[in-house]
Amino acid sequence: MTPARKTLLKRLIKIGVAGGLLAALYAAADWRSVGRVLASLDVGYLVAGLLLFVPQTLVSAVRWRRLVAPLAAISLGEAVRQTLAASALNLIVPSKLGDLSKAAMLPLAGPGDRARAGGLALLEKGADVAALALLWFSGWLAVSGLTLCGLLLAIAAAASWTRLRSSSGCSLAACSLALWTLHLLQIDCFLKAAGVFASWSEAASRIPAAIFAGLLPISFCGIGTRDSALIWLFSDVAPASVMAAVGALTALRYLVPGAAGIPFVLAGGRAPSKPLAERARSTREKRSLAWFVKT
- How confident is the model at residue 195, as a pLDDT? 92
Reduced to 3 states (helix: H, G, I; strand: E, B; else coil), residue 73 is coil
Question: How far, in Å, CA of 288 to CA of 10, rounded?
Answer: 56
- How confident is the model at residue 40, as a pLDDT? 92
Contact 108, 275 (CB under 8 A): yes
Q: What angle do CA 84, 87, 93 make, to 5 degrees?
A: 150
Contact 9, 211 (CB under 8 A): no
C-alpha pair distances (Å), 202 with each of 47, 142, 179: 23, 8, 19
Q: What is the per-residue pLDDT across 253-265, written as a single tens digit (0 to 9) for each? A: 988 998 898 888 8
- How confident is the model at residue 51, as a pLDDT? 96
C-alpha pair distances (Å), 20 with each of 36, 72, 102, 240, 262: 21, 44, 32, 17, 26
Q: What is the per-residue pLDDT across 123-182, written as a single tens digit (0 to 9) for each? A: 999 889 988 988 888 888 776 665 666 666 566 556 555 444 555 677 788 888 889 989
* Closest among 95, 103, 110, 108 to 67, alpha carbons compared: 103
Q: What is the per-residue pLDDT across 86-103, written as a single tens digit (0 to 9) for each? A: 988 888 776 567 788 888
81 pLDDT band, cuts 50/70/90, is very high
Reduced to 3 states (helix: H, G, I; strand: E, B; else coil), residue 24 is helix
56 pLDDT band, cuts 50/70/90, is very high
- How confident is the model at residue 47, as a pLDDT? 96
Question: Of residues 28 and 230, which shows the higher confidence score?
Answer: 230
Question: How far, in Å, CA of 132 to CA of 184, rounded?
Answer: 9
% of the chain residues with pLDDT over 70: 68
- How confident is the model at residue 284, as a pLDDT? 41
Whether the predicted pLDDT of 5 surpasses 50: yes
